[in-house]
Amino acid sequence: MNLHPFIGVRRELHQIPEPGFKEEKTQRYLLDFLSKLPQERLAIKTWRTGVLVRIHGRNPRRTLGWRTDIDGLPIEEETGLPFHSHHPGYMHACGHDMHMAIALGIIDALVREPIDDDVVVLFQPAEEGPGGALPMLESDAFRQWKPDELFALHIGPDWPVGTVATRPGILFANTSELFIDLEGIGGHASLPHRSNDMVIAASQLAMQLQTIISRNIDPLDSAILTLGKITIGTKQNIIPGKARLEGTIRTLSMESMEKIKHRVRQLVKGIETGFECKAHIDWGANYCQVENDETLTTAFMEWAQQEGGVHVIHCREAMAGEDFGYFLREIPGFLFWLGVDTEHGLHHPRLEPKEEAIPTAIQLVTKYFRWRGNHAG
Ligand SMILES: CC(=O)N[C@@H](CCC[C@H](N)C(=O)O)C(=O)O
């Protein structure tokens, strides 16, 4: 059986996952692919490791936009697939390979059969961190081609292929990374009284941080504080003088985000006093919530159910983050989950999205652009 061309594209991209703002091979792949398309209606420019593509319409009244993210994750792939990652320690474990293949498929369809309106497609670096959306949004490259409406999708592991899930209003959470460094005094394991043990300080802090959500935040206002990594010590008989805790905070309101940060500062100060150590907090990258435009999202959901050939689910908010939220603060639009039905979820080393979702998405989005961009609304 012949492989769908954009499933082939996804498999090639799957092999070259790269960290945020280091997506050089990915950028070359995208530019090479784009150079082979009919060029009459295409304009292409780069911004850092990203790419911006403009497809000139037949009779443009406005510019519609599509955005995909392009970076991979620091995860060692365990899928055993024949087209597995060629970059040790990196994997497309959040579906950005699927997102890019779909975006290229949309461009391919629209250059061959253009719509009335112009379409701008953004290949945005560094979604997983440190965040490419905000600097791209502020760049001249983007400002010159700023679309009037902007749309995006994210693969959704929990839904079957042929399903689209979204909602008007907040879809994804506000996020803040969290890095805390503790510095005490290291020493010999047999002389605890002469050292200042950061294993105990970090352990206490980890437990205390878990009380913030349960004791300080309104239970009806969802929030998360997850510590994903703690680094302490070198050997079993050395008391370590340094510790680093790394995590992420998620909220559905900015008010809760501020409250959590305030409590983190207070608890860290308490650890400094209690353990006579020094502490430093770094909030890393912060993403604002993804807030779907009410009117456009409702109209899309009705259209997709009736005309799009997919099953539409009105889903709940997710506590995942997406820097696409920065674009939606300025430009009306929406993001939807694309059902890819995988046993292992996002950021898992065995994530295997069902590839049939690629042609489904290309068809759906191209059809939507034809409906919206041929002066339907
Ligand atoms: C869809 C998804 O999984 N997004 C990521 C992006 C957030 C990164 C952010 N820098 C953080 O970890 O706080 C997620 O983890 O939700």
ipTM for the predicted complex comes to 0.94
Q: Give residue 43 CA to ligand 1 midpoint distance, Å.
A: 31
Q: Which fold has domain 174-286?
A: Alpha-Beta Plaits (3.30.70)
Cis peptide before 130 (omega within 30 of 0): yes
Task: Calculate what percentage of the chain has a pLDDT beyond 70.
Answer: 99
What pTM did the predictor assign?
0.93
| Paired residues of 165 in beta bridges | 313, 337
Residue 1: which pLDDT band, with cuts at 50, 70 and 90? confident
Whether 95 and 154 have beta carbons less than 8 Å apart is answered as yes
Q: Give residue 247 CA to ligand 1 midpoint distance, Å.
A: 11
Tokens of 136: 């791209």
Strands 286-287 and 223-232: unpaired
Q: Which fold has domain 5-171+289-376?
A: Aminopeptidase (3.40.630)
Catalytic status, residue 177: no
- Tell me the chain's radius of gyration from C-alpha atoms: 23
Residues in contact with ligand 1 by the CB-under-6-Å rule are 94, 128-129, 154, 175, 177, 248, 285, 287, 320-322, 346
Query: Which residue's CA lies nearest to atom 11 of ligand 1?
Result: 177
Residue pLDDT, tens place only, 135-148: 999 999 999 999 99
Residue pLDDT, tens place only, 3-43: 999 999 999 999 999 999 999 999 999 999 999 999 999 99
| Per-domain boundaries in the chain | 5-171+289-376, 174-286
The catalytic position among 18, 127, 128, 322 is 128
Residues in the chain, how many?
377
Q: Does residue 292 register a pLDDT over 90?
A: yes
Q: Give residue 346 CA to ligand 1 midpoint distance, Å.
A: 10
Q: Give the Cα separation of 110 and 107 in Å (integer).
A: 5
Catalytic status, residue 69: yes
Q: Does residue 345 register a pLDDT over 90?
A: yes
